[in-house]
Amino acid sequence: MKTYRIAAIPGDGIGTEVVDAGVEVLAAVAKRDGGFAVAVDRFDWGGAYYKKHGRMMPENGRDLIRRHDAILFGSAGHPDIPDHVTLWGLRLAICQPFDQYANVRPTRVLPGITSPLRHVNGGELDWVIVRENSEGEYAGVGGRVHQGSPLEAATDVAMFTRAGVERIMRFAFGLARSRPRKLLTVVTKSNAQRHAMVMWDEIAVQVAAEFPDVEWDKMLVDAMTMRMVIRPQTIDTVVATNLHADILSDLAAALAGSLGIAPTANLNPERAFPSMFEPIHGSAFDIMGKGIANPIGTFWSTVMMLEHLGEPAAAGRLMQAIEKVTADPRFHTPDLGGAARTTDVTVAVIDAVHGANV
Ligand code: ATP
């Protein structure tokens, strides 16, 4: 029987609560399936580790997880440590060297969940946002000089390469093709940013020629925010730069009912390195330790992990279990207006996995 080795990195804040729940659910899914097993190694890296060791993960951290089949990540951050240190020290320190260049964020209004958009019900909001995850505005290019003096200057240079843009466009067109509507929106800002964004647009046109069966359009990022709110049913698959998609996907998560539900996959499509799966929310220190974090975003990320591992039946069974549980308001955590606790939702999903008739 195949055993998948999973590296669990819970991180900080509610990351530990939701990842522990995710590991329990994963074990239940494997048990119910019977065709594969999971072996989970837990790595206590993050803000608390930084306080002790002066770094977010050990120097050989990546070597310790390089040969795992997938990574389940929670969230890293600490109230006393600047966000750019925690982000670059752990999440980006894994994503970038492991070349997880395709960040995939499905958004759907799950059964039982109410969108803040009055006119929207389940079928009208079913998107996948593909975020370029290796360069662009988060390339890390830039500098700061004369710190503290009136002459101080700082730059963050958005860096786009033809190879980087081509591969994310190809991935997004391919993903759009695999979905029933075969519809892609390429988000841009080429009216104001006249170099890299113009190249981005040109490459979209070139790659589109390889996918004649995919219908596509181009949209400025500012107009896209309005379209997401006013005409959500006109959107299916979306591709955007690192920064644009970062912002759009938080909006998408909120429109789908709660930040606590939305999942993410950081994929290395060539499988040269493990891919990483995580809820899109952060450490949420305001609710940490209270046992009320919504674990659905982590469970849905686990579905994406199972799909990536090549276990579509188990993935489908878990998604069905999740939807059965969200449909029942007794299992809504406070972010969804309910009174359920993380453990209530976890137990309900595990029960549904065992009962799911797939
Ligand atoms: P970070 O800086 O790590 O991204 P943050 O606090 O800025 O953290 P989030 O952690 O994403 O951002 O939290 C934003 C808000 O959403 C908080 O009020 C938080 O309580 C709520 N929230 C986020 N995730 C969940 C969840 N899984 N369950 C319930 N509420 C959540």
286 lines ligand 1 (CB under 6 A): yes
102 lies in the same domain as 128? no
104 lies in the same domain as 20? yes
58 lies in the same domain as 135? no
Q: What is the largest CA-CA distance in the chain?
A: 67
Q: What is the mean pLDDT of the chain?
A: 95
220 lies in the same domain as 241? yes
288 lines ligand 1 (CB under 6 A): no
Once rounded to an integer, what is the mean pLDDT over residues 308-320? 97
Q: What ranges in the chain are assigned the alpha helix state H?
A: 14-33, 47-53, 61-65, 83-86, 92-95, 162-178, 196-208, 221-230, 242-255, 296-309, 312-326, 342-355
- CA separation for the pair 56, 50 (Å, rounded): 5
13 lies in the same domain as 93? yes
* CATH code of the domain covering residue 318: 3.40.718.10
77 lines ligand 1 (CB under 6 A): yes
Ligand 1 center to residue 254 CA distance, Å? 11
- CA separation for the pair 176, 239 (Å, rounded): 10
| Residue nearest ligand 1's atom 2 by CA | 282
Residue 124: the pLDDT is: 81
pLDDT at 285 over 60: yes
275 lines ligand 1 (CB under 6 A): no
From 14, 259, 299, 343, give the residue whose CB has the most ligand 1 atoms within 8 Å, as the site to mutate. 259
Which of 234, 256, 278 is the endpoint of a domain?
A: 256
Lowest mean pLDDT among 41-55, 64-78, 107-121, 318-332: 107-121
Ligand 1 center to residue 33 CA distance, Å? 32
209 lies in the same domain as 312? no
- Cα dihedral 221, 223, 229, 230 in deg (nearest 10): -160
Looking at residue 12, its amino acid is D
Number of domains composing the chain: 2
166 lies in the same domain as 100? no
Buried b (16+ CB within 10 A) or exposed e, 224-248: bbebbeeebeebbbbbbbbbbbbeb
101 lies in the same domain as 123? no
Ligand 1 center to residue 281 CA distance, Å? 5
Domain that holds residue 210: 115-256
Which tens digits make up the pLDDT trace of 58-107?
999 999 999 999 999 999 888 889 988 988 899 989 999 999 999 999 99
91 lines ligand 1 (CB under 6 A): no
257 lines ligand 1 (CB under 6 A): no
For residue 358, name the pLDDT band (cuts at 50, 70, 90). Answer: very low
Which tens digits make up the pLDDT trace of 202-253?
999 999 999 999 999 999 999 999 999 999 999 999 999 999 999 999 999 9
61 lies in the same domain as 119? no
- CA separation for the pair 251, 225 (Å, rounded): 8
Residue 122: the pLDDT is: 66
Once rounded to an integer, what is the mean pLDDT over residues 343-353? 97
> Which atom of ligand 1 is closest in space to residue 280's alpha carbon?
11
For residue 356, name the pLDDT band (cuts at 50, 70, 90). Answer: low
Which of 225, 256, 287 is the endpoint of a domain?
A: 256
93 lies in the same domain as 45? yes
Ligand 1 center to residue 124 CA distance, Å? 25
Ligand 1 center to residue 278 CA distance, Å? 13
Ligand 1 center to residue 248 CA distance, Å? 16
Residue 118: the pLDDT is: 83
Once rounded to an integer, what is the mean pLDDT over residues 298-317? 97
Which of 213, 228, 256 is the endpoint of a domain?
A: 256
pLDDT-above-90 percentage for the chain: 89
Residue 120: the pLDDT is: 82
102 lies in the same domain as 173? no
Instruction: Enter the pTM of the model.
Output: 0.93
Ligand 1 center to residue 258 CA distance, Å? 10
